[in-house]
Amino acid sequence: MKVSYYSRLSPEHISILEEFTKDVPVKVGALAKALGLKVVVAALPLKISGLIKPDPDGGFVIKVNRFEPKERQRFTIAHEIAHFLLHRDKIQAGVVDSVLYRSKLSSRVEAEANRLAADIIMPLDKVSELSAVYRTQGDHQIIATLAETFQVSRQAMEIRTGD
């Protein structure tokens, strides 16, 4: 996870992230909890994947759309965690993410959240380790197997392995 935003994370957050990205599938719900975040699976409008907003009891709450596939919900939780880790000062009354992960925040900020979300849910060292394990399966099948192992969509894994 040695990328530009790394230096902006607190040592405490880094150690929590490292602990939770050691094993796959990454337990994103438990990770959120360890970071002090509440996660609610909710009936959100169809064009919304998720949101993060201040919780009335203090801290922040993440809501994820229950109508979307499980794999997609996992990525959304990771995306909202990324907003918390990197963009807390910009959340204000809340950040609502569309299905394209667009919000009131700039596309640069959204791209950054997607990058950290991918680092959380598809740790590169694990992706390369398991790609080597599955390499006899052939490219197409490897993506499917990896997606299943990491519990992410094939599309997300395809983008990740193309990184």
Binding site for Zn ion (CB under 5 A): 97, 101, 103, 110, 113
Cβ neighbors of 83 (< 8 A, separation 6 or more) are 52, 90, 91, 95, 105, 113
Question: Shortest Cβ distance from residue 80 to Zn ion (Å)?
Answer: 7
Closest to Zn ion by CB, 65 vs 103, is 103
Instruction: Identify any residues that bridge with 38 across adjacent strands, giving them in sequence order.
Output: 61
Terminal-to-terminal C-alpha distance of the chain: 13
Question: Shortest Cβ distance from residue 103 to Zn ion (Å)?
Answer: 5
Question: Shortest Cβ distance from residue 110 to Zn ion (Å)?
Answer: 5
Closest to Zn ion by CB, 44 vs 113, is 113
Which H/E stretch holds residue 136?
none
Residue nearest to Zn ion (CB): 97
Closest to Zn ion by CB, 55 vs 137, is 55
Residues 81, 32: contact at Cβ < 8 Å? Answer: yes
**Which DSSP string do the residues of 97-123 spell out, in sequence order?**
EETTS--SS-HHHHHHHHHHHHHHHS-
Closest to Zn ion by CB, 97 vs 126, is 97
Question: Shortest Cβ distance from residue 54 to Zn ion (Å)?
Answer: 16
